[in-house]
Chains A and B, each alone.
Chain A
Amino acid sequence: MFTEIPQLIIGAVDLAAAFLFLYGLKRMSSPVTAPSGIFVAGLGMLVAILASFLYIFSVDAAAKPHLSVNIGLAAIALIVGGGAAWWSGKRVAMTAMPQMVALYNGMGGGAAGAIAAVELFGNKAQGATQLVVTLLGALIGAVSLSGSLIAWAKLDGVINKPLRVWGQQAFNGAVMLVTLAVGGYIIYVAQSGVDPLIPMPQLITLFFGCALVFGILMTLPIGGADMPVVISIYNACTGLAVGLEGFVLQNPALMIAGMVVGAAGLLLTLLMAKAMNRSVSNVIFTNFGSIPKHKQGDIKGSLKPTEAGDAGIFMRYASKVIIVPGYGLAVAQGQQKLYEFVKLLQAAGVEVKFAIHPVAGRMPGQMDVLLAEAGVPYDLIFQLEDINDDFASADVSLVIGANDVVNPAARDDKSSPIFGMPILNADKAKKVYVVKRGEGKGYADIVNALFYADNCEMVYGDAQAVLVKMIEAIRGLGLSAAA
Chain B
Amino acid sequence: MQFQIAITGFIALYLFMLAAFGGWVIIGRVPAILHTPLMSGSNFVHGIVVVGGIFALLNASTVQEQAIGFFAVLLGAGNAAGGYAVTDRMLAMFQVSGQKPVHAKAHHAKIHRPKKA
A residues near B, CB below 8 A? Answer: 4, 7-8, 11, 14, 17, 21-22, 24-26, 28-31, 34-35, 37-39, 41-42, 45-46, 48-50, 52-53, 55-56, 59-60, 62-63, 65-67, 69-71, 73-74, 76-86, 88-90, 92, 94, 97, 100-101, 103-105, 107-108, 110-112, 114-115, 117-119, 121-122, 124, 129, 231-232, 235, 238-239, 242-243, 245-247, 249-268, 271, 356, 358, 361, 363-366, 368-369, 372-375, 377-381, 383
Contacts and interface: CB of A to CB of B under 8 A. Distances in A.
Given A63-B61, A110-B75, A356-B33, A85 B70 contact: no
Given A34-B91, A82-B78, A372-B93, A66 B3 contact: no
B84 A42 contact: yes
A37 B73 CA distance: 25
Contact of B116 (A82, A271, A365, A378): A82
14 contacts: A34-B94, A38-B44, A48-B48, A62-B61, A63-B61, A81-B75, A81-B76, A89-B83, A101-B40, A104-B40, A111-B76, A114-B68, A250-B6, A373-B105
Nearest to A244: B16
B77 A82 contact: yes
A115 B72 CA distance: 6
Contact of B76 (A107, A249, A263): A107
Contact of B7 (A48, A252, A369): A252
Contacts, number: 429
A82 B116 CA distance: 8
Given A69-B66, A77-B70, A260-B23, 5 more contacts: A37-B91, A74-B57, A84-B78, A239-B42, A263-B20
A121 B71 CA distance: 14
Given A28-B41, A52-B51, A261 B23 contact: yes
Label chain B's interface by main secondary structure: helix
B1 A73 contact: no
Interface centre among A114, A271, A369 (most CB of B within 10 A): A114
Contacts of B96: 377-379
Label chain A's interface by main secondary structure: helix
A247 B7 contact: yes
A63 B94 contact: no
A73 B38 contact: no
Given A73-B69, A78-B117, A45 B58 contact: no
Nearest to B113: A39
Contact of A111 (B28, B49, B105): B49
Given A38-B88, A82-B77, A107-B79, A363 B42 contact: no
Contacts of B91: 31, 34-35, 37-38
Contact of B33 (A38, A86, A266, A368): A368
B51 A363 contact: no
Contacts of B113: 39, 42
Contact of B117 (A82, A256, A263): A82
A369 B66 contact: no
Contact of B4 (A7, A107, A245, A368): A7
